[in-house]
Every structure is written in structure tokens, then in C-alpha cells.
Amino acid sequence: MTEDGFFTILDSVDSTNNYAMGRVHAGLAKHGMGWFTKEQTAGKGQRGRVWATEKGKNIAMSLVLEPNRLPFTNQFHVSAAIAITVFEFFSKYAGDETKIKWPNDLFWCDRKAGGILIENVFQGKQWKWAIVGIGININQIDFDPFDIPPVSLKMITGKAYQPVELAKELFVLLMKNLAALTSANLVIEQYNAQLYKKDKLVTLNKDGTKFNSIIKEVTSDGRLLTVDAIEREFNFGEVLWVL
């Protein structure tokens, strides 16, 4: 294990989010601490899914945030700000085809390049901590079969990268952008500007029923708005994409 200020490089953990959560519960975490691991044996994705990553080839990192150190109390505003920063970082290397798929996946040309998992710690009704897990495919080119085809930075550009150095770059950018936040409206505007399939017809699945609808925007509290014969609103986890 090596440390560089608030950014720690681990050789191997089950999950960086689990490790960060352990630091929080042990009283050893501070706002802005980050952990990167070279190997993640049981990475976590959204809704209990596994985030598999090949050893030494990708970004698997987590950081801890104290919401009272941020200007927003709305959980989605923080999530959106992080998604925008991950988009900004990845698009610097991968180009304009990079998008944010609601609520917080990183997409490139209809393929998944990364994801964000935020786990929150509450004390009563008080939001005490946000543990932000970020996984981004960097050098991996062989993947297990997925419903959504994965893609990596190396597959996009043909170049190999140093995951540790990229993770440090992303960490610095995250803390810089979070410290500069002032306007919730601007965050949501920026998020919607990079929204995957915005104003396009997509197929969605709600409770086993598939239907076509046009993606319009995401609201300030994180609901997806679509329109077809009627206007629709969906909370996270209420509807699935059919890609």
C-alpha cells in the first residue's frame, strides 16, 4: 500500500467501496480521501450487480465525501456533479462520442465504458457520508459477455495507459470540480447536455412491458422524463433500458 496525501494506492481489496466504508465506520475517513486498487476481487455495480475488472488494467477507485462540506443537500446533485466530472475526464481521451447514461453510467458509442456507485451513510435523517465508487475500463480488451457491450479506452484509441496515473488525474479533477460547485441548476443543465440518447427514441422495459419513448431530460431530483403518446416520469430502478 502506498499513500500520496489523501490518495492511497492498494494492491488488492474485495471492493474499494467496502474498504472506504470500513474507513468511515472505523472513524478513519476524512472528506476527500480516495483509494485506488490494482486488483478488485468483488467489485460492486448498481442494484447488486458485480463489477468485474481485470487486474492492473483499469480504474477501480472510491472516495469519501462529507455532504456538509458540499453546497448541495440533494443527493442527485452530487451524483450528477460526479458523473459530469467522469464524463469530462473520459471524453478528454475518448472524444465526443462519450455520454452519461442515466443515472450515472459512462457510455461511448452505445457501449459501456464505466460506472459510478454511490453508497450513503445516514445518522438518523442526517446525511453523514457519501462513498463514491468509480470503475472505468482503461486497458482491458477481453470481457465476459454482457447485455451491454463493454468498451475500454485502449479499444477506442489503440493506446495503452497507466491506470494509476489516470486515477490520480481523475481524483484531482473530482476534488477540484466539487470544490467549485455553486449552482445546482448549472449542474443539472450540464448533466442533461451530455445525456445519452437525449431527444432520441429508445426502448424501455417497465415491469416486463417493453415500449418506445423519447428521452427528454433528467429532473433536478434525478427522475428520467420521456415522451411518446404521453409524458412519463421514472425513478431510478423503475425502468430498464433495452439496448
Between the CA atoms of 156, 158, 163 and 168, what dihedral angle is there, to the nearest 10 degrees? -70
Phi/psi for 112 (5° steps) reads -85, 125
The DSSP letter of residue 1 is -
| One domain for residues 209 and 184 | no
Question: Which tens digits make up the pLDDT trace of 137-163?
Answer: 999 999 987 778 999 999 999 999 999
Instruction: Give all strands (DSSP E) within 96-236, no chain letters.
Output: 98-101, 105-108, 111-123, 126-136, 201-206, 209-218, 224-227, 231-234
Judgement on whether residues 165 and 225 belong to the same structural domain of the protein: no
pLDDT of residue 84: 97
Look at the chain and report how many structural domains it folds into. Answer: 2
> Which range of residues forms the domain containing residue 223?
201-242
pLDDT confidence bin for 194, thresholds 50/70/90: very high
Instruction: Give the domain CATH number at 132.
Output: 3.30.930.10
The mean pLDDT value for 65-69 works out to: 93
Residue 206 confidence class, pLDDT cut points 50, 70, 90 = very high
Query: pTM score > 0.95 for this model?
Result: no
Q: What is the mean pLDDT of residues 107-119?
A: 96
Whether residue 148 sits in one domain with residue 224: no
The pLDDT value given to residue 36: 97
User: What are 93's three cell numbers?
Assistant: 481521451
User: Band of the pLDDT at 203, cuts 50, 70, 90?
Assistant: very high
- Residue 121 sits in the same domain as residue 171: yes
Query: Which position has the higher pLDDT, 70 or 46?
Result: 70
Quote the strand ranges of the chain, DSSP E. 2-4, 7-10, 34-37, 59-65, 98-101, 105-108, 111-123, 126-136, 201-206, 209-218, 224-227, 231-234, 240-242
Q: How confident is the model at residue 108 (pLDDT cuts 50, 70, 90)?
A: very high
**pLDDT tens track for 32-59:** 999 999 999 876 655 555 566 889 999 9
Residues 32 and 151 in one domain: yes
Same domain, 164 and 224: no
Average pLDDT over residues 20-30: 96
pLDDT at 147: 74
CB 161 within 8 A of CB 139: yes
139 and 33 in one domain? yes
Q: Of residues 184 and 45, which shows the higher confidence score?
A: 184
Hey, is 220 helix, strand or coil? Answer: coil
Range list of H helices, 5-60: 16-25
* Confidence band, pLDDT 50/70/90 cuts, at residue 4: low
Q: How far apart are CA 146 and CA 111, in angstroms?
A: 10
Q: What is the pLDDT of residue 49?
A: 59
Q: Are residues 92 and 165 in the same domain?
A: yes
**Same domain, yes or no, for 182 and 210?**
no
Angle at 157 between CA 156 and CA 159, to 5 degrees: 125
For residues 228 and 117, membership in a common domain is answered with no
